Amino acid sequence: MNHAIISCLHANLPAAEAVLNDIDRQGIDTITCLGDLVGYGPQPNEVVELIRKRGIATCQGCWDEDIIDGLNACECSYPSQLAERRGHLAHQWTDDQLTDENKSFLASLPTSLRRDRLLFVHGSPNSQHEYLLPDMDAFAALERVETAGADILFCGHTHQPYVRELRDGSIRVRLQNADHGNDQGEELTLPMRKIVNAGSVGEPRHGSTNATYVIHNDATDEVEIKEVAYDVGRTCQAIVEAGLPKVFAWRLSHGFEFAEQAEDASHVCER
């Protein structure tokens, strides 16, 4: 059976509607959302209400968490001070706009969802703020999936969709301890695991302005990355009219975050 995974809607209603229409057209009725319903974009209430109305299973994103808990993320969430300032502005604006009812919906979201061997999270099983980038250390990537006890890990947060297969892994070790002296050494065979990043519906950064999401077939395990065009101009105009930083509109109309990659992808916020 095919099911769809969406992430990082970021208060972009035209993009969210376009993606849901695309999914509906294919007759797919199981949808999982990996969070970040709000932040950056101009329609936080509308997007939250759309997800609520459709009853889409959703886990909490980094923005959803920060809106509820207050901005206590360490600076690691932002690649630069400038980005941090803009992030704070957007945070404040979103906080002012969101209704109490929508805030309590965001607060009620779980940090992960599990269906059999599939695990759904926003950033990583460790944290909503951790980036699992496509080229991160392969062993560390496998550790995230394995420690969480999953075969396939679905995540978002990077806004770049990808499918990563980790296979034929092994680690050889040699042990010396106080009582037994030296050991001959052994080899651990690592299991095959997959990480699927759903990209971003409302704030794509993969080099195109199209919204992205993924479809997974749970019988064949095949994953398809989907791109959907939507009316970017409408969202950009709404961003400017809302008084949000213009760079968010610029970014949407380019499809990437200019010079704003997270520097240390392996960094885990320890707050």
Partner 1 sequence: MIERWALVSGLRGDLETYDLIQRDLKKTRGVTALFVLGDLVGPERNCDALLDRLRNPHRGDLKPDCIYGWWEEQLLAERGFRGERKADALRLSQGEDAVSALLNTVNPSHLKWLASLQFGFIELDCALIHGSSSDVADNLTSETSPLILLDRLTRLNVNRLFTARSTKQFHLELTGGGINSQVKDLNGKREQQQEVPKRSVIGIGAGLNYTLYDIGSDKMHFLTAGSKTNPKGKGFA
Question: Which residues would be at the binding site for Zn ion (CB under 5 A)?
Answer: 8, 36, 61-62, 157
* CB 84 to partner 1: min, Å: 21
What residues contact residue 259 under an 8 Å CB cut-off, 6+ apart?
80
Q: Which is nearer to partner 1, 79 or 134 (CB)?
A: 134
Question: Looking at 59-67, 95-103, 107-115, 137-145, which segment touches partner 1 (CB under 8 A)?
Answer: 137-145
Q: Which of 22, 64, 65, 146 binds partner 1 (CB under 8 A)?
A: 146
Selection from Zn ion, partner 1, none that 8 binds (CB < 5 to 8 A by kind) is: Zn ion
Residue 137 near partner 1 by CB under 8 A: yes
Residue 146 CA to residue 148 CA, distance in Å, equals: 5
Selection from partner 1, Zn ion, none that 173 binds (CB < 5 to 8 A by kind) is: partner 1
**Which tokens hold the place of 152?**
């396939």
Q: Which of 53, 100, 176, 184 binds partner 1 (CB under 8 A)?
A: 176
Residue 177 near partner 1 by CB under 8 A: yes
Residue window 197-226: x/- pattern of binding to partner 1, with contact defined by CB under 8 A: ---------xxx---x----------x-x-
* CB 160 to partner 1: min, Å: 7
Q: Which of 171, 241, 243, 258 binds partner 1 (CB under 8 A)?
A: 171
Where b means 16+ CB within 10 Å and e means fewer, 64-102 reads: bbbbbeeeebeebbbbeeebeebbeebbebbbeebeeeb
Q: Which of 96, 100, 116, 187 binds partner 1 (CB under 8 A)?
A: 187
Q: Are the C-beta atoms of 75 and 84 separated by less than 8 Å?
A: yes
Phi-psi sector, 36: left (phi>0), alpha (psi -120 to 50), beta: left
- Long-range pairs for 19-23: beta carbons < 8 A, 24 or more residues apart: 19/201, 19/211, 19/213, 19/228, 19/230, 20/50, 20/54, 22/213, 22/226, 22/228, 23/213
Residue 58 CA to residue 51 CA, distance in Å, equals: 8
Q: Read off the amino acid at residue 271.
A: R
Residues contributing to the site for partner 1 (CB under 8 A): 134-135, 137-143, 146-147, 160-178, 185, 187-188, 190, 206-208, 212, 223, 225, 227, 266, 268
